[in-house]
Amino acid sequence: LFVKKNRVLIWANEVWGALRGLETFSQIVWKGQDDRLYVKETVISDYPRFQHRGILVDTSRHFLFKEVIFDIIDAMEANKMNVMHWHIVDDQSFPYKSKVYPDLSKKGAFHPEFVYSLEDITEIIHYARFRGVRIMPEFDSPGHTYSWGLSQPELLTQCYQGSNPVKGYFGPIDPSKNATYTFLKNLFDEILTVFQDTYIHLGGDEVPLQCWSSNPDVTNFGIDLSKKAIIYNFRLMKDLRSIGKKRKDGVKFVMWQEVMNNDLQLPNDTLIQIWMGDVMDINRAINLGYNVLYSTCWYLDHVEYGTKWPKYYQCDPADNSMTVDEKKILGGEACLWSEYVDNENYMTTLWPRASATAERLWSHKDVRDLDSAAIRLQEHRCRMLK
């Protein structure tokens, strides 16, 4: 970025770099007492340290209006963050309005109006793209799928007590039925048509095994119980790879770290998202050949009091990672799960704390002074409020 008298010039390798340069320029302009805009002559050479600088947005625990999502994306642009990880469905609700299986949202959403149509999603994707933000969807399974079963009860595992099924009590998706994979293939065929990002997050975390272990069909599936999640994810990814062949760039996967911990052999281009571990988990993923996203220290939904942004600012996914291959750490995400936030307080809970994460993921690893950061973040908060 070159700012000279009567001239501003931005050099960038791609349009996304030009967008970041424009954002930098907007942040060094100030209004004088005479209401005129001023900027000092300067030269700024800048680039991101990590390529994946994300925010996880959860629209299942509380539905977020489209306008709030637009506000989140605008703030991400202002903070040079480039991936909105959209955790769109979960146990609590299924607001994705599928045309292939319309009952998923009719019976699984909180309310008929609390849904995202395919047109809504396309509008959000286009809005984000013009601001340099990718939309990476997450459809978490086989756990976290209670809302799926409200319209597709045969999809979930019937839980048993002894030899008797427990009426109305279901567990994770049933991995023993061929119909399960037919359903998933049809659903994800649509999802991969709507969401065009190369990556899709398949979840895979917190799979409760008790129900599987009680169900005779699942226990007779022919493999050890601990391996059933492996078989499920393997078949799902195989089908999605097949669907992805219709796309120019194919499809790649992001998984929560439990899938790696279960010893599933994943494609080498899979991203492992670390959310409850640290150095050892990062190293294990890298040593197994995977790239890594880091989120452990950036769970913004944790209720805290006082000034906590320094904790987020000082967290670094590559600190003490005991590996020279920092390039395998593609970046990280600040995660705001929505159990305790909704349309009224989502933005104020997310920002400006996520700005501390944004600077850590963008700036050089030696940029760490808290006093200097405090001044910048205070000014940046006022800038975002305007």
What residues act catalytically? Answer: 206
Per the listing, tokens 């319209």 go with: 151
List, edge to edge, every strand of the sheet that includes 7-9. 7-9, 2-4, 42-43
54 forms bridges with which residues in the sheet? 83, 333
Task: Concatenate the DSSP letters of all residues of 1-24 into one string.
Answer: -EEETTEEE---SSHHHHHHHHHH
- Which residues are bridge partners to 56 per DSSP? 85, 335
Question: CB of 15 within 8 A of CB of 69?
Answer: no
Residues 41, 4: contact at Cβ < 8 Å?
Answer: yes
Using CA atoms, how far apart are residues 98 and 61, in angstroms rounded to an integer? 19
Spatial distance between the Cα atoms of 250 and 271, rounded to a whole number of angstroms: 15
In whole angstroms, what is the distance from residue 335 CA to residue 356 CA?
13
Contact 124, 66 (CB under 8 A): yes
Distance CA 225, CA 209 (A): 8
Q: Which amino acid appears at position 65 of this protein?
A: F
* Residue 310, C-beta contacts closer than 8 angstroms, at least 6 positions apart: 356, 370
196: which residues sit within 8 A by CB, 6+ positions away? 125, 247
The span from the CA of 148 to the CA of 94, in Å, is 7
Structure tokens at 210: 């008790």
Name the residue among 242, 255, 276 with its Cα closest to residue 201: 255
Report, in angstroms and rounded to the nearest whole number, the Rg of the chain calculated over CA atoms. 22
Cα(5)–Cα(385) distance, rounded to whole angstroms? 29
Residue 330 C-beta-side C-alpha neighbours within 13 Å: 17
Cβ neighbours of 222 (radius 10 Å): 9
